[in-house]
Structure 1
């Protein structure tokens, strides 16, 4: 019954609007065809003929243009433009019929005036209706007058009752994104939010109204003012806002008790590339400026190439596939041992590109030389990106042989097959844990780097490796663990309150790999300037605060096997070369000879054959001389950090004294 009532009300309002339009047309016709005689004196029959032709043309085109199907109480500029456009077509139709039909003629000026005056009246009543609906809920004399007029002429009440049920928001940013959000909320009856105000710093906008919504200066906004306007949530709609400013405003409104959300472009796999309203992601928790390193030269390099991505179903590998798909390769081959991950990214890309992407999926391990040879034989990839690896530090400490066989010998297989099948370029995904490694995972990745650098000295393929820090949102990151612990009511566990890590997002890491690979000449070890490090303790506290759950405890559990207090990105910071991207550097390390690499690989192979993890770890220490114990590195790093803190305190004391 309620649905029928709504439908009947909808049609009642629509036909009522037709009647009002007819009344406005009649007034316009009386004024311009009867009261105004003009040069062409019309007979009664001539007036009737002109009124019938013009009225039919206007009404017919408006019906075809679905003018009366629009909800004008939420009508934006697009609704008014449609009305103007349809009446323009109606005038052309009217002009044509008037010329060909055997009726009494009138001047072009009078015809244009008739249609234009009628259009002006139609626009006016719609604007008045929208204004009355919007402002008729104000608790003042004018609001009550508007509410009565609205009730008298349209039969409906102002939107007060409906608006009470909606969440009232302040939109941070009166630019294109913020205004687009406001229009969407105003025009959508099903929206859960209603905008109350804009907050902006643009002096040209402050003090004015956009879509009838006031624009306030950021400096003039007070918590009392927000309370007067019944604002419940703050929505950030400035994707380009500076990191420091975003953090400042986030903290201010969050501490004031407001829910804070963000409205911007998400990643493609999150929402099909469309804008949507969401909670702050963990990337915003860090409040570090996202790096955009991909450029047109990078896109051009990969375009029309056959690209093979190993580990393509993993966190980094799947994002590499997404980024690569946008660059329009000739063919994209996703290879992974885990079929579910590969299947997920395959289906996602199929939906996104609808057959426009030549996409192939192979399920195989990079340690299986025969299977990998079959893949190379079938596709002959020009570019190979090796993202397949075991990366979980504690697990690899207890599975040393598996780490060596998968990471080291799997990489060696890929290098050999690239040479055998004439690939153009091999790009290896590495990690900051390969720098002075204190764990098996880091040591195996350092060995992989040495294999790649050595191959660049005698092979025909161009080689490079790209090293970066921890990745937000990856399967092995600390973020999912914290989320689960918070969801379960705590406690949140961290291994050591002193731990510091460098973070980047998955898209940033993927872009870095792709751009560095495109700019590589041969043998480079690329390193990203990842900015300021983040304390894991601060990250945990931010996540707890964002969750809104109170009373969650943070406890220390002690460092895990092979874990460092501080990660390093560079082996020898004094030997860095700059690139055309200010955020990417090249560390030049002396490449080992092929004979030396073979010698170390033989040592590792014999150790793995023994099926003894302890022997394998000892062999790994010999193969990777920089592989040290975590206790040694942590002690040195802690002493260095303490010394730096003491120097800072002394310097601060001198400044205070003088």
Structure 2
């Protein structure tokens, strides 16, 4: 119904109620009086009618959405009616020197009853009749606090939604058996399975925004014992301020179950470093590189240079960022290969960036075991080219995206990343550029990570393949990994290897089990198949070896490692020989170089 039609209907309805109330009020007190024909009654009716509409507009009674009416709307009705009655009383006193208080009091009560009833009847009709016609999914809300009640209220008022709350559970025993919006708090979190079965629950919403990751995981494991779909609400502040609505309630994701709280970063210092600067990101079309670009855009750099070898990936991130930030930031796509030394030096000379984030790399462990030369070309020579270009043209900061696989590396990929770290550690000793490396574990959802693979296997009906039941990995999300890289650039003094305290490692088999249940299947339906450890893989991974650990943190949950590089002359001599080596010699040499401290002398590749 359009606003003019709605306004006309409400004015006509209120007019009828006003006139009806004053006549009925007098009739109840003086049923046989001829007062109905008097001029005083006519005057009182007209004044009451005019004053009611005046105060109704003043208190915006015609602008409220009455299907969501509550106590606040009732107070507005009471104020409008009271002031209109007082206006009529003043008019009567001026006209005849007397006020018909009893008549006006009955009229006031009828006004409150009929006007309030006409408004709230629509809410009752909507809540009881309209909703009963639709097939709703019975929903259990975990948490009977402010967040849970907000979710319940919005679900009750969300006509288009397919969920209807039927009960709460909460560990606060003082709320047990109490009712909120006619919904009973019917047990504790541990009782979720029996509540779900008894009340035929189809959806569970976790509505406790203050929960830690470990608590979310505990609740999810309890909910996973049922067949109900499990969802989680966003931050209560976002719901209350209108940033998100009930429709933003989302499925529980693997990221929610990591058991580690995200690292909070120093936004002000990052802003000082990036705002108004020229920033270059290599590998800008990749999972980490593209997210670094997104995060950087929040800090309003003057220019953002997107450098990558893949035409389509650079095109995609360029289009995305230009659509969102093109008016404020000059975004420049650059097609270049970090292995092309001349091109990289040309880019550095032309654009003179202030900060370089080097995310371009080959990172797939088993694939690099079969292609060690390509790993060396991209991860070693590519890093050397970009780093030396930064040194040559006096770039302020260079940040290398490294990996936990660079610690005691048994595989080619990890070894090439450790050699890359040693390159920038040596350059940092004599350069004006601040060189720094950042190590973190596996990134959830990145290209080549286990999550996309598991999802494809689940979509195909299974089984999900896991290499070993006891294999563990550290995990973090793409946004968190990218923010850590940016934070490291701010903390850099030169030569550091920053490491994130990533909490406890996660079993890959547990990750697979959680993803299967989160996808709505049982382990029996999909199944897990153990395929054996692949070439170059570790059973357990480290972020720092025992000689590299520094207990103190330079920033909450961020450590500086003491990873010692090989002496520059010896290191660069080995690197110069890589192009002359066979595939097997390349593999042996890069592994020996990365693990040089385990040997008294590195001889492999130097004529031994």
TM-score by length of 2: 0.81
Alignment pair present for 1:306 and 2:278: yes
**For the residues of structure 2 that align with 1:350 and 1:174, how far apart are their CA atoms?**
43
Q: Distance in 1 between matches of 2:81 and 2:283?
A: 61
CA distance in 1, matches of 2:304, 2:156: 43
Cα separation, partners in 2 of 1:106 and 1:583, compared to 1, 3 Å: farther
CA distance in 1 between partners of 2:84 and 2:141 (Å): 44
What's 2:498 paired with? Answer: 526
Residue 187 of structure 1 corresponds to 157
For 1:440 and 1:105, locate their aligned partners in 2 and report how far apart those are by CA, in whole Å. 103
Q: Which residue of the partner structure matches residue 291 of structure 1? A: 262
Structure 1: distance between partners of 2:13 and 2:186: 37
Q: Counterpart of 2:123?
A: 130
Range with greater deviation from structure 2 (446-455 or 504-513):
504-513
Identify the residue that residue 462 of structure 2 maps to in structure 1: 490
Q: CA separation of 1:85/1:130 partners in 2, compared to 1, >3 Å: closer, same or farther? A: closer
Deviation larger for 547-556 or 503-512: 547-556
Secondary structure of 1:255's aligned partner: coil
Change (3 A) 1:131 1:450: same
Question: Residue 254 of structure 1 corresponds to which residue in structure 2?
Answer: 224
Mean alpha-carbon deviation: is it higher for 204-213 or for 339-348? 204-213
1:569 and 2:543 matched: yes
- The whole-number CA distance in structure 1 between the counterparts of 2:183 and 2:325 is 39
- 1:361 is displaced (CA, Å) by 2.4
CA contact (8 A) 1:603 1:623 kept: no
SS in 2 for 1:615: helix
1:200 maps to 170
User: Is the 1:572–1:587 contact (alpha carbons within 8 Å) kept by the matching residues of 2?
Assistant: no
Distance 1:538-1:45 versus aligned 2 partners, 3 A rule: closer
Structure 1: segments with no counterpart, 5+ residues: 1-6, 137-156, 630-658
Instruction: Measure the CA separation in 1 of the matches of 2:290 and 2:56.
Output: 55
- Describe the superposition over 1:527-586 as per-residue Cα deviations: whole angstroms up to 9, x where unpaired: 122221222222223333333143434333332221222212213346414224342211
Distance 1:15 1:386 in 2: 65
List per-residue Cα deviations over 1:110-131 (Å, max 9, x = no partner): 9x99999957853454335534
Pairs within 5 Å for 1:19-418:
20-26=13-19, 43-44=40-41, 46-57=43-54, 66-67=63-64, 70=65, 72=67, 75=68, 118=111, 122-127=115-120, 129-131=122-124, 134=127, 157=129, 159-162=131-134, 165-202=135-172, 208-216=178-186, 218=188, 221=191, 223-264=193-234, 274=244, 276-284=248-256, 286-301=257-272, 302-353=274-325, 355-418=327-390
Query: What's the CA shift string for 1:307-350, capped at 9, x where partnerless?
Result: 22211221111222222222333333222222333333333334
What are the residue-to-residue correspondences of 1:443-522 with 2, within 5 Å?
443-522=415-494
1:453 shift after superposition: 0.6
CA distance in 1, matches of 2:389, 2:183: 63
3-state secondary structure, aligned to 1:264: coil
| Root-mean-square deviation (Å) | 4.3
For each residue in 1:248-273, what CA deviation from the matched residue of structure 2 results, as whole angstroms up to 9, or x when unmatched?
3222222133221222269x9xxx98
Q: Which region of structure 1 is more displaced relative to structure 2, 16-25 or 301-310?
A: 16-25
**8 A contact 1:436–1:626 mirrored in 2:** no
- SS in structure 2 at match of 1:558: coil
| Deviation of the 1:404 alpha carbon | 1.1
What SS does structure 2 have at the residue aligned with 1:490?
A: coil
What CA distance in whole angstroms lies between the structure 2 residues aligned with 1:584 and 1:604?
A: 34
Q: Structure 1 54/419 Cα, relative in aligned 2: closer, same or farther at 3 Å?
A: same
- Deviations, residues 495-540 of structure 1 (Å, cap 9, x unaligned): 2333222222222222222223222222111112222122222222
CA contact (8 A) 1:498 1:565 kept: yes
| Mapped contact 2:77–2:112 kept (Cα < 8 A) | no
Q: Give the drift of 1:395.
A: 1.5
Aligned residue number for residue 583 of structure 1? 557
1:30-64 Cα shifts (integer Å, max 9, x gaps): 6999999xxxx994564254234224435667999
Provide the rounded CA distance (Å) in 1 between the counterparts of 2:108 and 2:347: 70
Per-residue CA distance 1:281-319 (angstroms, 9 max, x = gap): 2223x4412322313344334333322221122111122
Report the equivalent of 2:533.
559
Aligned to 1:637: none
Query: Using a 3 Å threshold, how does the CA distance of structure 1 residues 628 and 580 change in structure 2: closer, same or farther?
Result: closer
Given that 2:548 and 2:563 are in contact with CA atoms closer than 8 Å, whether structure 1 keeps it comes out as no
Query: Does the aligned pair in 1 maintain the 2:444–2:477 contact within 8 Å?
Result: yes
- Looking at structure 1, the residues matched to 269 and 347 of structure 2 have their Cα atoms a distance apart, in angstroms, of 25
Relative distance call for 1:360 and 1:104 in structure 2 (3 A) is farther
Decide which moves more: 451-460 or 186-195. 186-195
**C-alpha distance in 2 between matches for 1:551 and 1:237:** 29
Contact 1:24–1:121 at 8 Å: present in 2 too?
yes
Q: Are residues 1:623 and 2:593 paired?
A: yes
> Taking structure 1 as reference, are residues 33 and 290 closer, same or farther at Cα in structure 2, changes over 3 Å only?
farther
How far apart are residue 389 of structure 1 and its match?
A: 0.5
Q: Which runs of 5+ in 2 are unaligned?
A: 30-37, 600-608
Q: Is the deviation greater in 308-317 or in 181-190? A: 181-190
Aligned to 2:570: 596
